[in-house]
Amino acid sequence: MKLLAVDPITNPALGQIKTKTGDNFFSGLIPALVGLAFVIGALIFFFTLVFGAITWISSGGDKTKLESARSQITNAIVGFVILLVTFAIVQMLEKFFNINILSLDINQLIIR
Q: Residue 112 — very low, low, confident or very high, per pLDDT cuts 50/70/90?
A: very low
With b for 16 or more beta-carbon neighbours within 10 A and e for fewer, the 39-61 pattern comes to eebeeebeebbeebeebeeebee
Question: What pLDDT, in 10s, does the model give residues 77-109?
Answer: 999 999 999 989 988 988 888 877 766 555 555
Q: Is residue 27 scored above 90 in pLDDT?
A: no
Domain definitions of the chain by residue range: 21-102
Q: Residue 10 — very low, low, confident or very high, per pLDDT cuts 50/70/90?
A: low
Taking every pair of C-alpha atoms in the chain, what is the biggest distance, in angstroms?
Answer: 88
With b for 16 or more beta-carbon neighbours within 10 A and e for fewer, the 76-89 pattern comes to beebbeebeeeeee
